[in-house]
């Protein structure tokens, strides 16, 4: 894979995502998984939403440093 996938999932949606996580880990591909309790498909709790946004930005900085505009 060109970059490690970032999975941020509601706890109710984790079971279907585990098949992909298992396949990636079986292939020795890195994958990050974060689970948010008491959420639905769209993250509604403000603390969780902030966490998702901050993690996305860190993921972009880590995985795509040569493709981002310089600060």
Q: Report yes or no on whether pTM surpasses 0.85.
A: no
- Per the CB < 8 A criterion, the answer to whether 34 and 7 are in contact is yes
Percent of the chain that is helix, strand, coil (3-state, to 5):
50, 15, 40
Query: Could you state, in order of their start, the residue ranges of all structural domains in the chain?
Result: 6-63
* 3-class DSSP state of 38: coil
pLDDT digits (tens, 9 = 90+) for 32-68: 999 999 998 899 999 999 999 999 999 988 888 776 6
Q: Report pLDDT for 64.
A: 80
pLDDT attached to residue 67: 67
């Amino acid at each position: 894979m060109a970059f490690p996938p970032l999975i941020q999932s509601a706890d109710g949606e984790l079971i279907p995502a585990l098949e992909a996580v298992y396949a990636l880990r079986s292939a020795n591909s890195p994958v990050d998984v974060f689970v948010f309790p008491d959420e639905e498909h769209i993250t509604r709790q403000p603390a969780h939403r902030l966490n998702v946004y901050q993690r996305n930005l860190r993921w972009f900085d880590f995985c795509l440093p040569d493709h981002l505009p310089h600060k």
